[in-house]
Amino acid sequence: MTATTDGSTGALQPRAASASDTHSTTPVAAGAREAAVHAVRRSTEFLLSRQDAEGWWKGDLETNVTMDAEDLLLRQFLGIRDEATTHAAALFIRGEQREDGTWATFYGGPGELSTTIEAYVALRLAGDAPDAPHMAKASAWIRDRGGIAAARVFTRIWLALFGWWKWEDLPELPPELIYFPTWFPLNIYDFGCWARQTIVPLTIVSAKRPVRPAPFPLDELHSDPAHPNPAKPLARLASWDGAFERLDKALHALRKVAPRRLRKAAMNSAARWIIERQENDGCWGGIQPPAVYSVIALHLLGYDLEHPVMRAGLQSLDRFTVWREDGARMIEACQSPVWDTCLATIALADAGVPADHPQLVKAADWMLGEQIVRPGDWSVKRPGLPPGGWAFEFHNANYPDIDDTAEVVLALRRVRHHDPERVEKAIGRGVRWNLGMQSKNGAWGAFDVDNTSKFPNRLPFCDFGEVIDPPSADVTAHVVEMLAVEGLSHDPRTRRGIEWLLAEQEPDGSWFGRWGVNYIYGTGSVVPALAAAGLPASHPAIRRAVTWLESVQNDDGGWGEDLRSYQDSTKWSGRGASTASQTGWALMALLAAGEKDSKAVERGVEWLASTQCEDGSWDEPYFTGTGFPWDFSINYHLYRQVFPLTALGRYVHGEPFSGAEGG
């Protein structure tokens, strides 16, 4: 699948492949450099043509059908589901079903139980009969895997809203959690920001335990319909799991005796917390799941659908919709304009687009306007730190992130702006904020400082995805690279980050990728950062990384890594079908390591040139982005454009920075 532009937004939209999408016939025999020059020119033209009139880029952010299923369930719960929306969502969900009747969480991945259950229920809402072949195949597979009882907690919460599961058989999540002080274990700031924004509204839902009339039974999804809610034996008391399971039992008992006045006050405090964090566009944190649960929670507290907070929240959810040419409707989990814009700016500049090119200046203008200059939740741990970061989304003033901030600074440094004083002030604020967000181990997480408590992951409620935000190699590398470019290579804070990165290198020479798939992403992030910070290409860590990248290069010359490397690194680390984005990451690392003339680089460049489409783009159905390792995967539709162009541009024009001295 390739992409076209929606004239009203400039966002990349999917379209069906056509004859013009056949791969380039560039003769690689003419030499890798000639092929790269030709590919750079066409890719540059393609990317420039996709910029929005306001200056930003945004590709579709594709995840899995739980977004679409839960959107229909929300509308059913609120009584606002309509036939047109249901039909369009069902069209997309059906199109994602695999031959075995299941739904996966990423392209080419295995069927996943909870995703399949939610997709099945959504299609039942759309009118698909349970005895239809595609539905019968799905329900049989679900029963074989333990049925609804084996699904994750979040799936069973959605089913409990309609009486398809018992609330008393779900982990308890008391709203009094909102009163825990920041020094107390399991306070809301012990959770990563994405989990925090979801858990607070869910405490209200858990306390209220609402049940709407079910439009149909779901007996066919229980392995034992006579006993649909089987009790599970507790883990041994001496284990962490056993201790937290018994804590949950105690919370269930406490629910019966908790003072009503205290519970009501806690729910009202949670509601105030939610409303205070609603963004100007009506969303929460710029991501779909907290918005969905916040709308449900406030509705349960008496906020009608015409209340300004509710109306804005529901309208914001419509902005997560991507309409396909076939009439299908896909829901994005979030949107990535700041991330896409800074990466596109870097790619174009490294590909030789002049630093004062009007479109790069317009991109810089837009990014400058997106800087966040007021405190957010991060200031709970850093109350004295002045704001100055950038977020991932269009509207998310509460949760700027360290990764975006680092990459925006790197992008702004590549643009010759007509107001350099404004740029310098913005960069100064961003650098100061990033330095202030360094964790005590010398590294950086994505959103918060020292968000490393082990307790949240132990809760029975938290059986899906990451709920904490510890430092990662990829984020730390981007910050180190940014600090090096800013002349801070020898600053003690930068050196601590470098030392942490060196200590985190895997025995095989790679680095783990928290926010991209996976060891190729981590290695493609760290090696350029170390080189920018002044480590020589002969450094043992860099040589080990080069050896590893060469060892996992595919026979076709590209690189690829399957998401299964998060579960089984021995088998899948650096292994998978070649993709444009992952080949770009590998080449970026090898070029930074001084390997421009190596056979591995030549073969990688030739693979990118030979797989480029006639319009200058690349096809990439594979998911190479990560929300939660293994549990929630992302296909950033712009990754397939920006990272190949960045790598090819650096191959043709050389590395953009050799590492700044000073500090």
Q: How, if at all, do strands 329-331 and 2-5 pair?
A: unpaired
Active site residue 403: yes
List Cβ neighbours of 351 (8 Å cut-off, separation of 6 or more).
Answer: 40, 43, 44, 645, 646, 648, 649, 652, 653
Nearest 5°: the CA angle 472, 476, 480 is 170
Residue 272: burial class (beta carbons within 10 Å; 0-12, 13-18, 19+): exposed
Q: What is the 3-state secondary structure (H, E, C) of 265-279?
A: HHHHHHHHHHHHCEC
String of DSSP letters for 571-627: HHTT-SS--HHHHHHHHHHHHHTT-TTSHHHHHHHHHHHHH-BTTS-----S--EEE
The residue annotated as part of the active site, out of 68, 403, 448, 474, is 403
HSE-CB for 446 with a 13 A CA cutoff: 20
d(CA 58, CA 308): 28
d(CA 134, CA 128): 9
d(CA 331, CA 375): 30
Farthest CA pair distance, the chain: 79
d(CA 312, CA 169): 33
632 beta partners? 628
User: Which residue, 162, 289, 293, is CA-closest to 221?
Assistant: 162
| Contact (Cβ atoms closer than 8 angstroms) between residue 234 and residue 252 | no
d(CA 27, CA 590): 23
Secondary structure element (H or E) that encloses residue 297, with its range: helix 288-300
Q: Which two tokens stand for residue 356?
A: 């004062």
| Contact (Cβ atoms closer than 8 angstroms) between residue 598 and residue 543 | no
| N-terminal to C-terminal alpha carbon distance within the chain | 46
**Given its phi and psi angles, is residue 147 left (phi above 0), alpha (psi -120 to 50 degrees) or beta?**
left
Going 199 to 202 to 204 to 209, the CA torsion angle's sign is negative
Q: What is the DSSP letter of 385?
A: P
User: Which residue, 654, 640, 517, is CA-closest to 584?
Assistant: 640
Tell me, rounded to whole angstroms, the distance of Cα 134 from its chain centroid.
30
d(CA 78, CA 292): 11
User: Which residue, 631, 508, 638, is CA-closest to 575?
Assistant: 508
Identity of the residue numbered 361 = V
Catalytic residues: 403
